[in-house]
Amino acid sequence: MTKFVQIHTLVSYPPSNLNRDDLGRPKTAVMGGTQRLRVSSQSLKRAWRTSDIFKESLSGHIGIRTKGMGPSVYKALTTGFNLADILDCKDNSFPVNPLVSEKDAREWSRSIAGVFGKSKKDSEDSLTGLEIEQLAHFSPEEISAIDQLIAKISSCKSAPSKDDLDLLRQKHTAVDIAMFGRMLASNTKFNTEAAVQVSHAITTNEVAVEDDFFTAVDDLNRGEDDMGSGHLGETEFASGLFYIYVCVDCELLERNLGGDKELAKKALCALVEAMAKVSPTGKQNSFASRAYASYMMLEKGKQQPRSLSVSYLEPVRGRSMLKSAIDALKQTNQNMIKVYGGCCENSMDMNAYTGEGSLDEMLNFVVN
């Protein structure tokens, strides 16, 4: 497998609010002296790793990021259900069938969750007291180990020993952890360095965030006593053509997955497909702003990676914005090659604007 894979995409979103700031406005950034829309790398990574593409392509190799493993272990001990079923359930409605006393269940679930992070101050009238203070990413192997420990302590009716609590795993097959990393402040030797670096998505064009004033009508309002609306509201939105850059250290990805070459290839394919098809979920019900990538370029090689965001220091303008953005990206790439020499060993692109190339060809290219 090649050392680096670099992925460049251009995705156009209509009016939307994909990633909000603390005031509920679309996130922005100033680039080249003009305001641009921005979608954070955290938002992009979550959309990709929780997508159906990842779930279907990498079934059994996706972890869970949560503060709530303690409450889930408690539910397993007090309902008799399998931990995996509890983690998958959306409504958390399980009949009570206690395997151990409530007191033991609280104490033992707290100690199990505490392996992965500092526990909150316990509160006996709430399960939130069994949570840890920071989000932790659990691999499938660690979840399986916790499930086995639940079965052991519930059958023996005894607290987990120090050896039993040896639950963290340096070697695992969690693709999302291998790609995007994991940090455990209290157990740093189990940290994972991210093999995938993701830029914040930034618009190639200058933008202005706009306000949408809206009203909602009460269906039972017959207009006899009150002619007004039932609700007044305001939301903010903007639209733009986004440039997204991702760099994958393929050797590190394979190493993070314990040397499993085939799993690393599946992970790469899932990432490329998700980048092409998956949109952040923010305000989708209000704007239906789902979009596929209009342009994608893949590069493979051992050369030092570089973003091509400099292509858009001067914002793209005009009616042929997509064509201009593609041309600017290609021209910048060619200029880089003239100045620095070959910036990769092989490259391929897919252009939905002109109907050239295909996603299948890109997926085949990235792993061969």
pLDDT digits over 145-171, tens only?
A: 999 999 999 999 999 999 999 999 999
pLDDT computed for residue 234 by the predictor: 85
Looking at residue 143, what is its pLDDT?
A: 96
Mean pLDDT, the chain, whole residue set: 93
Write down the pLDDT at residue 117: 93
Structure tokens at 172: 């695992």
The b-or-e profile of 70-93 (16+ CB within 10 A means b, else e) is bbbbbbbbbbebebbebbeeeeee
pLDDT value for 98: 83
278 and 53 in contact (C-beta within 8 Å)? yes
Percentage of the chain exceeding pLDDT 70: 98
> What is the per-residue pLDDT across 1-42, written as a single tens digit (0 to 9) for each?
579 999 999 999 999 999 999 999 999 999 999 999 999 999
Do 304 and 345 touch, CB atoms closer than 8 A? no
pLDDT computed for residue 125 by the predictor: 67
The token duo for 294 is 């209009």
pLDDT of residue 92: 67
DSSP letters for 171-195:
S---HHHHHH-B--TT-GGG-B--S
Give the closest residue to 215 by CA, choosing from 230, 194, 199, 200.
230
The pLDDT assigned to 111 comes to 95
DSSP string, 19-31: SB-TTSSBPEEEE
pLDDT of residue 185: 84
Band of pLDDT at residue 85, cut at 50, 70 and 90: confident
Question: Residue 106: what pLDDT?
Answer: 93
Q: Which of 47-61, 110-124, 237-251, 280-294 has the lowest mean pLDDT?
A: 110-124
Question: Is residue 116 pLDDT above 80, yes or no?
Answer: yes
Q: How many CB atoms lie within 10 A of CB 352?
A: 18
pLDDT score for 221:
80
pLDDT at 223 (0 to 100): 72
**Cα 170 to the center of its chain, rounded Å:** 22
In the chain, where the domains are located: 4-62+194-219+235-367, 64-172
Which of 78-92, 115-129, 286-300 reaches the highest mean pLDDT?
286-300
The pLDDT confidence band at residue 191, using thresholds 50, 70 and 90, is: very high
pLDDT tens, residue by residue, 214-239:
888 888 887 777 767 778 888 899 99
pLDDT beyond 70 at 294 = yes
296: β partners: 9, 350
Asked if 354 contacts 264 with a C-beta cutoff of 8 angstroms, the reply is no
Give percent of the chain above pLDDT 90: 82
pLDDT tier, 200 (very low <50, low <70, confident <90, very high otherwise) = very high
